[in-house]
Amino acid sequence: MLAGLAFKRKWQNKRKAEGKPFDKPNIVTGANVQVCWEKFARYFEVELKEVKLSEGYYVMDPAKAVEMVDENTICVAAILGSTLNGEFEDVKLLNDLLTEKNKETGWDTPIHVDAASGGFIAPFLYPELEWDFRLPLVKSINVSGHKYGLVYAGIGWVVWRNKEDLPEELIFHINYLGADQPTFTLNFSKGSSQVIAQYYQLIRLGFEGYRNVMENCHENAMVLKEGLEKTGRFNIVSKDEGVPLVAFSLKDNKRHDEFEVAELLRRFGWIVPAYTMPADAQHITVLRVVIREDFSRTLAERLVLDITKVLHELDSLPSKVLVPASEQNGRNGKKTEIETQREVTTYWRKFVSERKANNKNKIC
């Protein structure tokens, strides 16, 4: 929000100085953008121009993003660690393409990097990756301490490249606390516990400690990924280079889908989210497991075992999705839809009754 406001105000000031209209700002992002960017666009009246996704490519395409840039674009927002599959967007390619367009048009469209997760991962696992202020057009970066900063929810920052990238008129100066304090916030007063916790973690772990934690998270993510691949039932949607998470979908979800897998996993104590991808890949459904510091190799192996149990159980159950009548073995190989519904309902009632009876016998 704060980074977006800074870009909007700086763009407006430039347009006013040039005597040009400044009432229709826009921001270019991928359709995979986190909801905070949609909130920014709606709350602060900025048009959100989204680069649509496609099957197999679930992050913003830099080339398509640059094509959407016009004279009213306040910035292009790239994500270092997509919420959907943990993938890092190619900020360097975006910077190079946008630099060429700026030269051709005379514009100076900048880049913001939403590194909410990746900002605490890339420096430790991929130090050679260029995504930050090494790229000239990156003017601001935000990062969340409550994700891989290893602190509980409520702490995060936005950092600007230079002082002039944050317009002075957005900063308020107060002195009623005993000294001049510049402030640029949107929230009300809050406690300092998260700041103290983050300071403690930075001092206690240091660069080496954070690198060890991130490497361990990545290794456990690979254990989970390999275990899921061995089942032969899933496509892995996430990338090895990115946030330590595993996003995966069923190779065949005609009879049972990812939402059913997520529902049955709750019985084993796992809350694994299932969700559909944004436009134009909304026909793809994905399950996602985020690997944090406390997610051990043992837990990864146990999750694979429980997912295997769920798959075996689903294989023994009737399909929740109605199978086309032409594929049924009724009269002349056909069944009406109502006949299929009745058959499924009867089967489920019988299944539930038998489970209840078995449980009573076990108790006795």
DSSP annotation string for 13-56? HHHHHTT---S--EEEEETT--HHHHHHHHHTT-EEEEEP-BTT
Confidence at residue 345, expressed as pLDDT on a 0 to 100 scale: 63
User: How far is the CA of 73 from the CAs of 78, 81, 222, 256, 316, in angstroms?
Assistant: 14, 23, 39, 44, 54
The DSSP bridge partners found for residue 138 are: 111
pLDDT for residue 277 is more than 80: yes
| pLDDT tens-place string over residues 139-153 | 999 999 999 999 988
**The CATH number of the domain covering residues in 1-177+185-198:** 3.40.640.10
Is the pLDDT assigned to residue 107 strictly greater than 50?
yes
Tell me how far apart the terminal alpha carbons of the chain are, to the nearest angstrom: 60
Where does the pLDDT of residue 331 fall: very low under 50, low under 70, confident under 90, or very high at 90 and above? Answer: very low
Residue 190 has pLDDT above 90, yes or no: no
| Structural tokens at position 176 | 């009623």
Using CA atoms, how far residue 66 sits from 27, 78, 279, 285, 299, in Å, is 11, 12, 19, 28, 42
> What pLDDT shows up at residue 189?
79
Domain boundaries in the chain? Answer: 1-177+185-198, 225-316
Amino acid identity of residue 183, one-letter, is T
Q: Average model confidence (pLDDT) for the chain? A: 91
**Confidence bin at 319 (pLDDT 50/70/90):** confident
Q: Is the pLDDT of residue 328 over 50?
A: no
pLDDT digits (tens, 9 = 90+) for 233-259: 999 999 999 999 999 999 999 999 999
Q: What is the pLDDT of residues 25-71, one digit of tens each?
A: 999 999 999 999 999 999 999 999 999 999 999 999 999 999 999 99
Question: Sorting pLDDT into bands at 50, 70 and 90, what band is 154?
Answer: confident
Say what the pTM is: 0.85
Judge contact between 124 and 117, C-beta under 8 A. Answer: no
Query: Measuring CA to CA, which residue among 263, 281, 242, 286 is closest to residue 90?
Result: 242
Beta-strand pair 47-51/26-30: parallel
Domains 1-177+185-198 and 225-316 share a fold: no
DSSP secondary structure code for residue 336 in this structure: -
pLDDT of amino acid 18: 96
Q: What kind of fold does domain 225-316 have according to CATH?
A: Aspartate Aminotransferase, domain 1 (3.90.1150)
Backbone phi, psi, residue 34, to 5°? -70, 155
Kindly state the percentage of the chain with pLDDT values over 90: 80
pLDDT in tens, 168-187: 999 999 888 788 889 898 87
pLDDT at 332 over 50: no
Least confident of 74-78, 235-239, 334-338: 334-338
